[in-house]
C-alpha cells in the first residue's frame, strides 16, 4: 500500500494556449485534513478533476491511493468520495432511495453519521432531489459522502451555501471522520476560519502553481505586520523586502511582510525609518495578503 494518498509529478494542464496547472508536484501522506486554497481560477478544481481521472493532463502524472489517476477501477473509485460545488445528484430520485442505493454500495456505511449530518436540514425522506433547496442539497450530498467512510474524501467548496448551524455540523462530522477513521480529506475552500478550525495541512495554489505546503499555523507565523514611520515618502513597493501589502495608518505605514527579518530591518534602518512594532497576523490575513499580492486586480491598481 502506498504511504501517500495523493502523488503528482510535474503535473501540467493547458486548455488551448491557456496554462491552468504548471509543473505541480505534491506528495500528500495518508490521513489528516488537507485544505487547498487559492484565488478564483487558481486551478483547484482542475487539480481535483485530474486526480480523479476526469480529465487528462497535458504532461506529468498523478496517483491516487497508489493507482494512476487515468487507471482508476470502479473498485478503487468506491474507496474515494468526491463532492463538487454543484452537488450533482439524481434529480428524479427521492431522498430515501438515493440513500438506500448508496448504503448498498458502501460496506462501511455509517448510518449514525448520515442521520446526524442530515438532521440539520429539514429534508424529508420522500422528497425528490429536484425539490431540495441549494443548502439542503449540499447537506444531503455531504451526509452521503461522510457516511460512505471513504479512504480518501475530496471536497470542492463543500460548505458553499450552508447556514452557520449546518456548516458547524458538517465541520464537526468532518473532524470526527478525519481523526476517527484515518480517512484522508482534501478539501478546497475560501473560508479561512473553517480551515483554521479543521485543517492539519494547508496547501496554497496561485495561478496553477503550488506555492506552499505546511501546517496552517506555520504559514501564518511567516507573515507579520510591521508598523513603520518613514522620514519622508515610503520606498516603492517592489523595493521593500518581503512586502505583500502596504497600508497607510495616520502618519505610519502598516507593512504586511512574508519571511522578512534581518533584510527588512536593515533596509528600514538604511532609510532612517522607525519600526514601532511587529504584530502577528491571523491565518485569514496571512493567506489573503499573500494571495492579494499577485491578484490581477491588485496588480492593475499598482
Ligand atoms: N474546460 C475548460 N476550458 C478552458 N478553460 C478552462 C476549462 N476549465 C477550466 N478552465 C480555466 O482554468 C482555470 C482554472 O479553473 P479552476 O476551475 O480549476 O479554478 P479554481 O481554482 O477551482 O477556481 P474557483 O475558486 O473560482 O472555483 C480558470 O482560469 C478557468 O477559466
What is the pLDDT at residue 108?
Answer: 83
Does the beta carbon of 42 sit less than 6 angstroms from any atom of ligand 1?
A: yes
Q: Are 44 and 187 in the same domain?
A: yes
Q: Rounded to the nearest 10 degrees, how much is the dihedral formed by the CA atoms of 146, 176, 159, 73?
A: -40
CA distance 301 to 32: 39
Same domain, 121 and 172: yes
pLDDT band at 14 (very low <50, low <70, confident <90, very high): very high
CB contact set of 269 (below 8 Å; sequence gap of 6+)? none
pLDDT at residue number 214? 95
CB 40 within 8 A of CB 192: no
The answer to whether the CB of 27 falls within 8 A of the CB of 47 is no
Domain edge (last residue) among 165, 183, 214 = 214
- Report the distance separating Cα 164 and Cα 145, nearest Å: 20
Contact 203, 29 (CB under 8 A): no
CA 16 to ligand 1 center in whole angstroms: 13
Q: For residue 302, what pLDDT band results from cuts at 50, 70 and 90? A: very low
Q: What is the pLDDT, as a whole number, of residue 78?
A: 83
CATH of the domain at 268: 3.30.70
pLDDT digits (tens, 9 = 90+) for 22-58: 999 999 999 999 999 998 899 999 999 999 999 999 9
Answer whether 204 contacts ligand 1 (Cβ < 6 A). no
pLDDT tens-digit series, residues 106-140: 888 889 889 988 888 888 999 999 998 888 888 89
296 CB within 6 A, ligand 1: no
Pocket test for ligand 1, best of 44, 192, 211 (most atoms within 8 A of CB): 44
One domain, residues 194 and 260: no
> pLDDT tens for residues 166-198?
788 778 777 877 676 778 999 998 888 889 888
Higher pLDDT, 139 or 281: 281
**Sign of the CA dihedral running 65, 71, 74, 77:** positive
Contact 240, 253 (CB under 8 A): no
**pLDDT tier at 79, thresholds 50, 70, 90:** confident
Last residue of a domain, one of 168, 184, 214: 214
Q: Which of 11, 18, 19, 20 gets mutated to test ligand 1 (max ligand atoms within 8 A of its CB)?
A: 20
Looking at the fold, whether 192 and 287 belong to one and the same domain comes out as no
Same domain, 67 and 204: yes
pLDDT attached to residue 1: 65
Ligand 1 near 17 CB (within 6 A): no
| Cβ count near 293 (within 10 Å) | 16
- Ligand 1 close to Cβ of residue 13 (< 6 A): no
For ligand 1, what atom is nearest to the CA of residue 46?
Answer: 18
- What is the pLDDT averaged over residues 154-175? 82
Alpha-carbon distance 54 to 73, whole Å? 13
d(CA 132, CA 126): 11
C-alpha 46 – ligand 1 centre gap (Å): 6
Our answer on whether the CB atom of 44 is closer than 6 Å to any ligand 1 atom is: yes
CA-to-CA distance for 247 and 68, rounded, in angstroms? 47
> Which residues are CB-neighbours of 171 under 8 A, at least 6 positions away?
159, 194, 197, 198
Residues 69 and 123 in one domain: yes
- Summarize pLDDT for 80-91 with one digit per residue, the tens: 988 877 667 888
Residue 55 CB less than 6 A away from ligand 1: no
pTM: 0.88
Distance from chain centroid for Cα 44: 8
Ligand 1 touching residue 15 (CB < 6 A): yes
Mean pLDDT of 237-245: 89
Predicted pLDDT at 254: 93
What is the CATH number for 182? Answer: 3.40.50.300
- The mean predicted confidence, pLDDT, of the chain is 88
Strands (E), 122-192: 152-156, 184-188
Share of the chain above pLDDT 70, in %: 95
Does 162 lie in the same domain as 15? yes
Interatomic CA distance for residues 213 and 271, integer angstroms:
34
Name which residue sits closest to atom 16 of ligand 1, judged by CA. Answer: 43
Name the residue of 39, 45, 207 whose CB sits within 8 Å of the most ligand 1 atoms, as the mutation to test its pocket. 45
> How many structural domains compose the chain?
2
Q: 185: number of CA atoms within 13 Å, CB side?
A: 32
Domain boundary among 214, 248, 264: 214
The predicted pLDDT at position 301 comes to: 45
Are 62 and 69 in contact, with CB atoms under 8 Å apart? Answer: yes
Structural domain containing residue 181: 4-214
* Same domain flag for 141 and 197: yes
pLDDT tens-digit series, residues 245-274 = 999 888 889 999 999 888 888 998 888 888
Amino acid at each position: 500500500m502506498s504511504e501517500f494518498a495523493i502523488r503528482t509529478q510535474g503535473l501540467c494542464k493547458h486548455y488551448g494556449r491557456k496554462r491552468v496547472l504548471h509543473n505541480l508536484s505534491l506528495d500528500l501522506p495518508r490521513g489528516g485534513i488537507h485544505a487547498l486554497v487559492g484565488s478564483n481560477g487558481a486551478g483547484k478544481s482542475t487539480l481535483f478533476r485530474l486526480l480523479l481521472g476526469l480529465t487528462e493532463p497535458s504532461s506529468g502524472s498523478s496517483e491516487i491511493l497508489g493507482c494512476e489517476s487515468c487507471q482508476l477501477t470502479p473498485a478503487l473509485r468506491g474507496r474515494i468520495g468526491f463532492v463538487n460545488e454543484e452537488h450533482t445528484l439524481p434529480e428524479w430520485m427521492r431522498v430515501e432511495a438515493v440513500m438506500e442505493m448508496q448504503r448498498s454500495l458502501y460496506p462501511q456505511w455509517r448510518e449514525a453519521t448520515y442521520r446526524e449530518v442530515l438532521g440539520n436540514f429539514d429534508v424529508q425522506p420522500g422528497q425528490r432531489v429536484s425539490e431540495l433547496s441549494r443548502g439542503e442539497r449540499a447537506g444531503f450530498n455531504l451526509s452521503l459522502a461522510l457516511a460512505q467512510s471513504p479512504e480518501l474524501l475530496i471536497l470542492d467548496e463543500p460548505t458553499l451555501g450552508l447556514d452557520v448551524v449546518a456548516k458547524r455540523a458538517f465541520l464537526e462530522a468532518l473532524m470526527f471522520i478525519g481523526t476517527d477513521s484515518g480517512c484522508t480529506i482534501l478539501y478546497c475552500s475560501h473560508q479561512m476560519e473553517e480551515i483554521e478550525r479543521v485543517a492539519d495541512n494547508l496547501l496554497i495554489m496561485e495561478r496553477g502553481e503550488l506555492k506552499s505546503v505546511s501546517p496552517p499555523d506555520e504559514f501564518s507565523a511567516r507573515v507579520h505586520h510591521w508598523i513603520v514611520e518613514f522620514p519622508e515618502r515610503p520606498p516603492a513597493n517592489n523595493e521593500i523586502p518581503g512586502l505583500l501589502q502596504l497600508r497607510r495608518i495616520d502618519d505610519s505605514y502598516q507593512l504586511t511582510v512574508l519571511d522578512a527579518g534581518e533584510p527588512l530591518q536593515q533596509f528600514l534602518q538604511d532609510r532612517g525609518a522607525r519600526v514601532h512594532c511587529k504584530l502577528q497576523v491571523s491565518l485569514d490575513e496571512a493567506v489573503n495578503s499573500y494571495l492579494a499580492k499577485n491578484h490581477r486586480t491588485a496588480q492593475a491598481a499598482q
